[in-house]
Amino acid sequence: MIILAVAGLSVIVLTKTVTIHRSVFILYLLLIFFGIFYTFVGLINHPMQIGNVLKASTVTVIWPFFFLFLMPLFSQWEDIMKPINKTLIYSVLFIGVYMLFAALAYLRILPIPVELFFNTKLVEGKYDASVQLFDPSITSLMYLLPFLICYLLLKQGKQEGNSVFILLAGLLVGLIAMVVSGRRALILNVLLAPVLLVLFLTFKPSTVSASLRKSLITNIALMIGAVFVLMLLLIQTQILNFDALLDSFLQGFDTQRDESSRVRGSQSVGLIQSFFDYPIFGSGLGTSSQYVIRSYDTPWIYELSYLAMLYQTGLSGIIYYSTMLICIVYFAVSLISKGEISLLPHLIGLLCFLVANASNPYLAAFDHLWPLFLMLGFTNYTKLKKS
């Protein structure tokens, strides 16, 4: 990331031009100011937590600066969306294949040492004899799978020269990764992606051709049928316990039955109490609540990330941050309405990622910020191309 940022800065120096659209640049400055201001609020309110506040500032201040210097790279490469889309598609494929082989190794269906999958861990004992596979790469699928689903439904692969076989294979193994991971947020995102796509095209029907709109429902029905067949095959091979998966998904909405839901429930009570202690400007980024601690290693991070932001930045901060997110979405929607349909799968992917972030603190880690800044990069590239 640092190398890429230096490359972006070199483009500015060598070309003697700042290839960042004014509206995107202003949004970046506002985002960085958000991090700086509420970091200082944390230092003022909780000087004893200075270590945690400074650690959090690397994500809220330092990394946005690095991403800012990446923006010129988007403008120097013609049709940059095509290679990036290809990279994202192959990422789904590789993650899915990795998770599939890991599952087969743990089930002893394939004679592969499980030690090869050193990042993958078993989560046992939740649902009778069932287990889930945890791997850090699953977080990326929160964005990548909804993106790929919409990319397929909009038939963009044909326009960009991507093989239909690779796209379908990526979707297949991506769905298998979803099943073996048992991640409720990922299941929700996969269900949500086609719904958001249909809703968008209902309100913006002129965005795509009439023939594509007519085939959309048929393609969604075919996709659902394919998923049904896939699940039957996984049940037959004993990779999937459907009852356990369904029970796991439903328990996510029941704070009485599920441990992680109970933890989130207790967090919500403590964070709301803390919010009333600092209602206007919050306690400050990087600070922890006196009523609830999620982790002693990273006490400023909570699963309920938006509620944590309400506590840490107050009403002013949550309005500020929400406005910035709305601006990012508005820029994308306005460009899509003007014919930039290639942005739509990325917009759906970002929206699904933001939904998953509500119950998982993905945006509190620098390596999960890329969906947000990728959308800004594409917006910058498209706006410059049109101007």
Q: 251-276: per-residue pLDDT in tens?
A: 655 555 556 666 677 788 889 999 99
pLDDT at 128: 45
| CA pair distance 260, 276, nearest whole angstrom | 25
At 220 the pLDDT is 81
Q: 15-24, 196-205, 340-349 — which one is most confidently predicted on average?
A: 340-349
Query: Cα separation of 208 and 230, whole Å?
Result: 30
What is the three-class DSSP state of 126? strand
For 156, how many CA atoms within 13 A lie in the half-sphere containing its CB? 21
What's the CA gap between 365 and 191, in Å, rounded?
Answer: 25
- Kindly indicate the confidence band of residue 13, based on its pLDDT and cuts at 50, 70 and 90: very low
Predicted local confidence at residue 282, as pLDDT: 95
Mapping DSSP to helix (H, G, I), strand (E, B) and coil, where does residue 290 land?
coil
In single-letter form, the type of residue at position 238 comes to Q
Q: Is residue 177 pLDDT above 80, yes or no?
A: yes
Q: How many angstroms from the chain centroid is the CA of residue 342?
A: 18
Read off the pLDDT band of 43 (50, 70, 90): very high
β-partners of residue 123 are 132
- Segment 315-338 shows an average pLDDT of 94
Average the pLDDT over each of 31-40, 44-53, 189-198, 215-224 and give the range with the smallest value: 215-224
Percentage, residues of the chain above pLDDT 70: 84
Q: What is the pLDDT, as a whole number, of residue 359?
A: 86
CA distance 270 to 292: 5
pTM of the full predicted structure? 0.87
What is the per-residue pLDDT for 129?
A: 44
- pLDDT > 80? residue 242: no
Q: Are 369 and 59 in contact (CB under 8 A)?
A: yes
Helix residue ranges, H only, the chain: 2-15, 22-45, 50-57, 63-76, 81-106, 138-153, 156-160, 164-181, 184-203, 210-236, 242-251, 259-277, 305-337, 344-357, 370-386
Residue 287 has pLDDT above 70, yes or no: yes
